[in-house]
Amino acid sequence: MMSRNMTEAPLPKRVDGVKLVDVNQELNGIIDSKQLTRLTSATVSCSEQIPCHVEFSRDSERHRILSGKCSTEVVLECQRCLEDVSFAIESSFELALVFNDEQAKKLPRRLEPAELDEDGRMDLWEVIEDEILLNLPDFPMHPQGQCKAHQTESEENIAEEAKRPNPFDVLAKLKQK
């Protein structure tokens, strides 16, 4: 068990997954997002501290399980206006720890694999980084009515419609005769 507060204690990067499953270990800690290079390259920015809670256990079918939660705040580029937009990312996951693709193929559909090396060790930060990346929005955009591009587009459409002649004016003139 970690004695420091969750906000202070770093989550270990490499862990012995087999050993932690055998003792039903729970870990609480933080990851410095600057250490997650794939996440930093996929975002404009990310909150520095990513709080995490992970549990190593066995399920009813005796699969080695890594489950947990993590959360962070990321800034992405809005796909409409190209300005920054913030998103709160919450990830909950349940993964089966496997040694190879053959074991992964035998898993029930409800479980995704996380691969251990030949010594039963794994890069815990990489697994958590994967889970955060999977929860990023596919097309980040500001909420409706908050996007600069959407507001500008609406104003332009209104001005453009005011300039165009109404095709029904001809009918209105005929009706007046």
**β-pair partners for 96:** 65, 113
For 152-162, write each residue's pLDDT tens digit.
555 555 556 55
Q: Strands 49-58 and 64-77: what pairing?
A: antiparallel
Domain boundaries of the chain, sorted by first residue: 14-176
pLDDT at position 6, please? 44
Which pLDDT tens digits describe the chain residue by residue (177 residues)? 444 444 468 999 999 999 999 999 999 999 999 999 999 999 999 988 999 999 999 999 999 999 999 999 999 999 999 999 999 999 999 999 999 999 999 999 999 999 999 999 999 999 999 999 999 999 999 988 888 876 555 555 555 655 667 766 766 666 676
The continuous run of DSSP H or E covering 54 comes out as strand 49-58
